[in-house]
Amino acid sequence: MLICVSAGYAQGRGQARSMVVSRYGIVASESPLASQAGAHILEKGGNAVDAAIATNAMMGVVEPMMNGIGGDLFAIVYDAKANKLYGINASGWSPKGLTIEFLQKQGMKEMPKSGVHTIDVPGAVDGWQKLADKFGRKKLSEDLGQAIRTAREGFPVPEITASYWNYAADKLRENEEAARVYLIKDHAPKTGEIFANADLAASLEAIANGGRDAFYKGEIAKKMLAGMKKHGGTMVEEDLAKFASEWVEPVSTTYKEWTVYELPPNGSGMAALEMLNIMENFPLGQKGYEFGSAKALQIEIEAKKLAYADLQKYIGDPRGQKLPMAKLLSKEWAAARAKSIDPEHANCNPTAREMEGGSDTTYLSVVDRDGNMVSLIQSNYSSFGSGIVAPGTGFVLHNRGALFVMDPNSPNALAGRKRPLHTIIPGFAQKGDVRMAFGIMGGWNQSQAHAQYIADLADYKMNIQAAVEAPRFTKLTFGGCDVMMENRFAQKTRDELTAKGHQIEVLPAFADNMGGGQAVLRDFMTGVNYGASDPRKDGAAIPEQPQN
């Protein structure tokens, strides 16, 4: 009997981690410290929105290259009692004076990738305020408490974060204040080294006491404007003071038995939905199209190229221009696009220009004991954003404006008080009595990763943790036949795809280029919550502990 049991366990399984399973809340993020901060708020009577704000604030402390109050935010909130989804777009607009003509006079022919002219108004803090006002049970000061304490006292830097920090050290040295804040004796913090940020603690404390106005109209605003003026920036007081994030209606499509939700433009979530619509025209998951097979991957890779070509051609900030969203998300459009896929040959010339992209983002998801859920993504865009830290603030200003283009005919053309096309997207999905908040970060990786994740659940019958861990491909360019694949895809599969014309770059088993994902799921029939966290990051899904 003992031998038989041992032999059964020895067969193993296709995932390294187990799902976290609880009747109480679960917080999944890139950092155990951040997940703990969110879980602690749940234990003190906060809800999923309070926990999401607490987790996000902590992420800005412990992973400052990826996110922070100098960046943008998007979120989807599920109100369990109302059975309703709410979307918030807290992405900032460009300064009124930043135009194509202005940059051309500076001798620029394309958008810079860092520096002062890539800084838009940071939207995250206004997003926090609106989320807290509409849904929160706790005051913003309580949600931010643990982040403030950790920033002031310091924390030991984990290993993956240390590698990100070291990679960006030269960029930080280009800005005196960035180097002062983020380098320790001119080096990036090493694994286990304690890092503290008193200036950031003070900025967070000001927000905790004064709300969003402390950031957009108070002393923090004055410091940001002075820092940008020093570098020749165009942002003025009015650009900050007049900014407001917006409540938006999520857009959706069906994929097999699932309904999948993303946020509308200026986010790029429509590409994930269009990709799924195209993939639905093929028998993924059936014989010959099993997970990891060349036939299945051919369809997914080619669907990515088509959806991203449409994204690039048609999508930007919807304000002031009409975007063909209904057409792009229709099943008829997808069916017509699917007919152009050749099962035997890679398309190396999709109709799109190249667009460069950063991949420094954090994603987190929360479910509370009542079934309320938050899918939240927040970003500086590139590592340490613009590279500019305004003296006395303790946070880097993002470079999201780098995603504009200087082609006046593009829907994503640079203009004053306009939001750029965004890579960062929170996801949500439902099936019957099941609701799921999910996301996978990583620049232009995100929409294609979302589609792969949903296919892993719907076509390949994985659970949420197995799907987070499953090997992925990514294509970060818009043209050509290049594609990156983790080495966990079989050599035979890669050889077959190469024969079809794909130019494969093989990456390690859990490659950073594939982004990192988090997910929480609730089965409303049983009242049980599930959490998942990607081993490609330092993070964890942590459950709330029941209180006496």
Residues 143 and 229 in one domain: yes
| Residue 5 pLDDT | 40
In 391-441 the beta strands, taken as DSSP E runs, fall at 396-397, 427-431, 434-440
Q: What is the pTM of this model?
A: 0.94
CB atoms within 10 A of CB 106: 9
With beta carbons less than 8 A apart as the criterion, state whether 270 and 264 touch: yes
Nearest Cα to 435, choosing from 329, 328, 527, 341? 527
| Burial status of residue 527 (CB atoms within 10 A of its CB: 0-12, 13-18, 19 or more) | exposed
pLDDT by 10s per residue, the chain, length 548: 334 444 444 456 778 899 999 999 999 999 999 999 999 999 999 999 999 999 999 999 999 999 999 999 999 999 999 999 999 999 999 999 999 999 999 999 999 999 999 999 999 999 999 999 999 999 999 999 999 999 999 999 999 999 999 999 999 999 999 999 999 999 999 999 999 999 999 999 999 999 999 999 999 999 999 999 999 999 999 999 999 999 999 999 999 999 999 999 999 999 999 999 999 999 999 999 999 999 999 999 999 999 999 999 998 889 888 888 999 999 999 999 999 999 999 999 887 333 345 445 789 999 999 999 999 999 999 999 999 999 999 999 999 999 999 999 999 999 999 999 998 999 999 999 999 999 999 889 999 999 999 999 999 999 999 999 999 999 999 989 999 999 999 999 999 999 999 999 999 999 989 999 999 999 999 999 999 999 999 899 999 998 86
The CA-based dihedral angle spanning residues 237, 240, 208, 91, taken in that order and rounded to the nearest 10 degrees: -170
Respond yes or no: is residue 118 known to be catalytic. Answer: no
Distances in whole angstroms, Cα of residue 144 to Cα of each of 71, 87, 157, 219 = 17, 22, 20, 18
pLDDT for the residue numbered 362: 83
241 and 339, same structural domain? no
Residue 174 lies in a domain: yes
Residue 13 lies in a domain: no
- Is there a domain that residue 47 lies in? yes
The residue segments making up the domain with residue 310 are 252-357+430-462+474-514
Query: 386 and 238 in one domain?
Result: yes
* Residue 394 included in any domain: yes
Q: Is 545 inside a domain boundary?
A: no
Cβ contacts of residue 234 below 8 Å, gap of 6+? 95, 96, 97, 98, 102, 117
Please tell me whether residues 95 and 197 are part of one structural domain: yes
Same domain? 191 vs 204: yes
Query: Do 175 and 301 share a domain, yes or no?
Result: no
Specify the number of domains making up the chain. Answer: 2
Same domain, 136 and 261: no
Whether 165 maps to a domain, the answer reads yes
Catalytic pick among 99, 118, 361, 423? 361
Is residue 543 one of the residues assigned to a domain?
Answer: no
**Same domain for 51 and 154?**
yes
Residues 77 and 200 in one domain: yes
User: 334 and 188, same structural domain?
Assistant: no
Can you read off the two tokens belonging to residue 377?
Answer: 């993504």
